[in-house]
Structure 1
Amino acid sequence: MEKINRISLFSLLAALAVVHSFALAQNPTKKASVKPSGKPSATVTKSPGQVVYEQNCLTCHQANGSGVPNLNPPLRGTDWVLGDKTRLINVVLKGLQGQEVEGDAYDNAMPAHDFLTDTQIADVLTYIRSSFGNKADAITTDEVKATRAQK
């Protein structure tokens, strides 16, 4: 029964990812806001890293970086995000499975996202390291390039 519930939850999350990706494809970098009068105001531009996050990471790690208990680890306040840059870059390039994060086990495997460009990886990891209450140095395209070359 528990396995069926996990499969159902995973299927639901995958379906939500597809719907969310379709919505982002319509206009991925701008979000209109509405004034109290009901009329649209100026648009808010998202950073390139936020766009990559919303397209590739949000479904599993959530809009606030909290993750999903027992399935997908949080991205806020963990040594995996705030610590060694090379290790974090390798998580994106190679994926991750069966690794404890901050003493908790997470069952979902993170697939490799090595299809992203070096710039996209640098942008999304910089976004993650500076969002959700995190305050860590940026990751550069050169750091990603060097780590990918070691793969």
Structure 2
Amino acid sequence: MTIVICAMFACQSEQEMEFKRYYSSGQLIYQTHCQNCHGKEGQGLAALIPPLNDADFLKSNRAQLSCYMQNGLSGNIIIHSNNYNGKMPASGLTPIEIAKVLTYVQNSFGNQLGLFNLKQVETDLKVCK
């Protein structure tokens, strides 16, 4: 049995294993810090809190997502042709936690956008507006 488990991990690339680590940790961070507002399935809350299942928004705002998480977000955004004009508070998460939760969100709720690693978060945070 141990040999089978070791063989399974040996067949995975370092990037695949990193993705799985980020994703599973990100799920726990999401449940603790994000799920209360954005919902268990990332569905949001009616016209108050946007859903997280819009891959187009996530892709087109990829460089700003870390900033939104660290500093919060206010002002109008459009998701699925709906306007949201609320205020998301700063998350209080560390850069590695931001990377993990963004990996989870970007690969859940119908999204499949791949790894969002620590280096990307750190780069993005340096240029937050």
- Normalised by the length of structure 1, the TM-score is 0.63
Q: Which residue of 1 aligns with 2:43?
A: 66
Higher Cα radius of gyration: 1
Deviation at 1:91, TM superposition (A): 1.3
Q: Which residue of 1 aligns with 2:70?
A: 93
- Greater RCO, CA 8 A, separation 6+: 2
Tell me how far apart the structure 2 counterparts of residues 82 and 63 of structure 1 sit (CA, whole Å). 21
Tell me how far apart the structure 2 counterparts of residues 111 and 80 of structure 1 sit (CA, whole Å). 19
Q: Match of 1:86, SS? A: helix
| Runs of 4+ in structure 1 over 6 Å off | none
Q: Which residue of 1 aligns with 2:99?
A: 122
Identify which of 101, 106, 131 aligns with 2:84: 106
Q: Which residue of 2 aligns with 1:141?
A: 118
Tell me how far apart the structure 1 counterparts of residues 56 and 67 of structure 2 sit (CA, whole Å). 14
* Pair 1:68–1:145, CA change in 2 (3 A): same
Q: Which consecutive residues of structure 2, in runs of 5 or more, have no partner in the other structure?
A: 1-22
Question: What RMSD over aligned residues (CA atoms) do the two structures have, in Å?
Answer: 1.7
Q: Contact 1:80–1:87 at 8 Å: present in 2 too? A: no
Tell me how far apart the structure 2 counterparts of residues 94 and 50 of structure 1 sit (CA, whole Å). 21
Q: How many residues align?
A: 105
Q: Which consecutive residues of structure 1, in runs of 5 or more, have no partner in the other structure?
A: 1-45
Q: Contact 2:43–2:53 at 8 Å: present in 1 too? A: yes
- Normalised by the length of structure 2, the TM-score is 0.73
Deviation at 1:84, TM superposition (A): 3.4
Same amino acid, percent of matched pairs = 33
Tell me how far apart the structure 1 counterparts of residues 119 and 44 of structure 2 sit (CA, whole Å). 28
